[in-house]
Structure 1
Amino acid sequence: MFDIVSPEAIRSGDATDAYFDRTVAALDHAGRDPHVVAEVTADQFPDGGFEVFAGVEDAAELLSGLAVAVDALPEGTLFDGGPVMRIEGTYTEFARFETALLGFLSHASGVATNALKARRAAPDASLLSFGARHVHPSIAAMVERSALVGGFDGFSHVAAGELLGREASGTMPHALVICFGPGEQEAAWEAFDAAAPEGTPRIALCDTYTDETDETLRAAETIDLDGVRLDTTGSRRGDFRHIVREVRWKLDAAGYEDVEVFCSGGLGPAELRELRDVVDGFGVGGFVSNADPVDFALDIVDVEGEAGAKRGKLPGRKAVYRTADGEHLVVPDDETPPEAAESLLEPLVRDGEVVAEFDVDAAAERAATDAERVGFDEAE
């Protein structure tokens, strides 16, 4: 048995903090179960620090079957304050699901936000998510899907691909070359070429034993290459940009202008910006998979039609808009919005049925469009 909470435990509400069990028991003992409005927020007021809303599909699945009405921002929407989700119903109907709900939203939104930062740092490059090895395997599909929402082109995890209906990407690790030994790199590249399915890009790893330029040219002479990948360890990397430019120069000089150059290994937005004009694509790992979760909280803001909330939280139902100039606007629900403002909260669950549709490509397009409208991450 692995240390994994089962889907059945999550669906039943057992994936909860103990005090929610105590709360439900106390309310039941007192014969009290008020009709409430609760909101999920990270920041009460917009602050300009935009993040990407993700994890909505799992959240909808969690809340399906409950006698609640749920509205939420569409997946991929950028937000910087105010509610991203609103739940209305009797409190005990959803109380025990708060822990799992916030977990679904918080972790996925953090990953998607860092993925969008990487995409904005290298807007024209191919980006693949290589970070599944840094997280518990039970959440690999969440990481890969959230990376797609943030604008990545693909990912490396096979099981996640089966779950998401996407083919995993990847060619060879250093281990393949090392299994053939020093001086036998050509044999490793030939074995990969012979065994890989038709349609798999022939991208050779070219930094295992000797200089990157040496292995690159040897690989190009050995098999019909689509590209080379440089994954040089940081302790031996030196000036990575110079290495990449030298590889490109020698490939071109030898007549291999069509061979592309890909880089991976501990890369984040700063490295992507530095290399994006000399590299065709990147494998990005820990920067995306290890993203800090967004610090969402769920708070009751209305009880039996009366606005109320704990100290530090804003009472009452709220509406959320994107204004014509890109502002994220949060106002009381009964306030008239500015002209041409777009309402962002949309129906998610009604009478136990999920009424929203989910499309990861549409979510990625939404994130990209919102990023342009709000000037996401321009400071970096």
Structure 2
Amino acid sequence: MTNPFDTVSADAILDGTATDAYFERTERTLEHAGRNPRVVAEVTCDQFPTGEFQAFAGVEDAAQLFEGRDVDVDALREGRLFDGGPVLRIEGPYLEFARFETSLLGFLSGASAFTTNALRARKAAPESLVLSFGARHVHPAITPVVERAGLVAGLDGFSHVAAGEVLGREAGGTMPHALMICFGRGNQEAAWAAFDEAVGEDVPRVALCDTFTDEKDETIRAAETLGDALDSVRLDTTGSRRGDFRHIVREVRWELDARGHEDVGIFLSGGLTPESLRNLRDVADGFGIGGYVTDADPFDFGLDIVAVDGEPVAKRGKLSGTKQVYRTPDGRHHVGLAAADAPADAEPLLEPLVRDGEIVREFDIDEAAARARADVEAVGFE
């Protein structure tokens, strides 16, 4: 069956036709001339440290891209924070990987940007429940990339069912405004009660409380309807009706407490940013973060040859020679030539990923998240 959606197949990525046309013409030209030098190529965003750290992701996809090819690849580990210098290095005959540059940069650029913004959200509310709600802002084919980015950044879960199947994690979520509207104005109680009766016991009873009347009114009614079964209320008020959101949340908390529902949480969603989370984290228990993560601008990674047949070379504006990057004891990032002495007590960050076409690294989301947490503290991220 022909793919009915505008997506590129996995086969096209792996056979290299998911590429820019000029790489095909480069291959043809080099083959015609009988040239295929052994090169070192590096993926970088900034040449030198700038003091602004970003998170690295997309590494597993990059490894799969080079499996079975006559190349060696070194890369930062997933979740590590970087600041200038190479994040990935390839060594081998140029024609072994020339046509894969486009897909490689796509794998790294989007995933790293999503992870970095998710990490900023996590940092903004470190003690709160923070979930990824951004799947609706991207093409369905890349929702696992978004949700994995959130997990690597330390978010507590996500909403997309198919992404969960890919990642081996269960998606979460309760009710949208559409459910409330289908029951009709004035019938909010019927909607909440039907939900409570219909879903499994393992699903939290989180009542959406801002559909037809104000947040305080619907919260009181939801608490009266569900009683002790109510776990949380969710406020997803559109920005044009939100007013002083912090004050609204404080009112909702007051009314819940006044009726003996001190254990009922308040969960917020809808257009939230790290600034929102910092402003609301002391009055709310959890957040759904969406567009802030998925709207992240892809990183401007580039792949450049820095050595040919053992000799350093690079285009103007790039640094020639094979490099290593280090984390120094003071949390800084250091870029140096691989053959030079490392800074004292520094940790080298480029590590083997592929050797002679064989993937030599395992990938674990929880380990990547732990790595990101450690780096956040080490470098003073944001």
Q: TM-score range by the shorter chain?
A: over 0.9
Bigger Cα displacement from structure 2, 59-68 vs 85-94 = 59-68
Q: Scaled by the length of structure 2, what TM-score is found? A: 0.98
- Which blocks of at least 5 consecutive residues in structure 2 are unaligned? none
Q: Following the alignment from structure 1 to structure 2, what is the Cα–Cα distance between the partners of residues 182 and 41?
A: 55
Q: Secondary structure at the match of 1:229?
A: strand
Q: Secondary structure at the match of 1:89?
A: strand
**Paired AA for residue 293 in structure 1:** P
1:65 Cα deviation from its structure 2 partner: 1.1
Equivalent residue in structure 1 for 2:104, among 84, 101, 104: 101
Residue aligning to 1:336 = 341
Q: Following the alignment from structure 1 to structure 2, what is the Cα–Cα distance between the partners of residues 247 and 113?
A: 32
Equivalent residue in structure 2 for 1:185, among 176, 184, 188: 188
Residue aligning to 2:165 = 162
Does residue 1:303 correspond to 2:308, yes or no?
yes
1:352 Cα deviation from its structure 2 partner: 1.3
Q: Secondary structure at the match of 1:263?
A: strand
Q: Scaled by the length of structure 1, what TM-score is found? A: 0.98
Residue aligning to 1:56 = 59
Matches within 5 A, 1:16-31: 16-31=19-34
* C-alpha distance after superposition, 1:297-323 (max 9, x if no partner): 000000000000000000000011101
Residue aligning to 2:326 = 321
Equivalent residue in structure 2 for 1:236, among 228, 238, 241: 241
Q: Secondary structure at the match of 1:40?
A: strand
1:147 Cα deviation from its structure 2 partner: 1.2
Equivalent residue in structure 2 for 1:284, among 281, 285, 289: 289
Q: Following the alignment from structure 1 to structure 2, what is the Cα–Cα distance between the partners of residues 127 and 315?
A: 43
May I ask how many residue pairs the two structures share in their alignment? 377
1:353 Cα deviation from its structure 2 partner: 1.2
Residue aligning to 2:84 = 81
Off by >4 Å, runs of 4+ in structure 1: none
Q: Following the alignment from structure 1 to structure 2, what is the Cα–Cα distance between the partners of residues 61 and 315?
A: 27
Q: Following the alignment from structure 1 to structure 2, what is the Cα–Cα distance between the partners of residues 146 and 25?
A: 37
Q: Following the alignment from structure 1 to structure 2, what is the Cα–Cα distance between the partners of residues 310 and 46?
A: 20
Q: Following the alignment from structure 1 to structure 2, what is the Cα–Cα distance between the partners of residues 255 and 332?
A: 64
Does residue 1:356 correspond to 2:361, yes or no?
yes
Q: Following the alignment from structure 2 to structure 1, what is the Cα–Cα distance between the partners of residues 200 and 10?
A: 34
Q: Following the alignment from structure 2 to structure 1, what is the Cα–Cα distance between the partners of residues 66 and 287?
A: 37
Q: Following the alignment from structure 2 to structure 1, what is the Cα–Cα distance between the partners of residues 68 and 285?
A: 46
1:3 Cα deviation from its structure 2 partner: 0.5
Cα RMSD of the aligned pairs, angstroms, is 0.6
**Paired AA for residue 251 in structure 2:** E
- Which blocks of at least 5 consecutive residues in structure 1 are unaligned? none
Residue aligning to 1:123 = 126
Q: Following the alignment from structure 1 to structure 2, what is the Cα–Cα distance between the partners of residues 142 and 189?
A: 33
Q: Following the alignment from structure 1 to structure 2, what is the Cα–Cα distance between the partners of residues 112 and 124?
A: 19
Residue aligning to 2:15 = 12
| Percent identity (aligned) | 70
* C-alpha distance after superposition, 1:143-165 (max 9, x if no partner): 11011111111110000001000
1:259 Cα deviation from its structure 2 partner: 0.2
* C-alpha distance after superposition, 1:54-97 (max 9, x if no partner): 01111111111111000000000000100000000000000000
1:286 Cα deviation from its structure 2 partner: 0.3
Q: Following the alignment from structure 1 to structure 2, what is the Cα–Cα distance between the partners of residues 238 and 249?
A: 18
Bigger Cα displacement from structure 2, 367-376 vs 161-170 = 367-376
Bigger Cα displacement from structure 2, 189-198 vs 77-86 = 189-198
Q: Following the alignment from structure 2 to structure 1, what is the Cα–Cα distance between the partners of residues 172 and 30?
A: 51
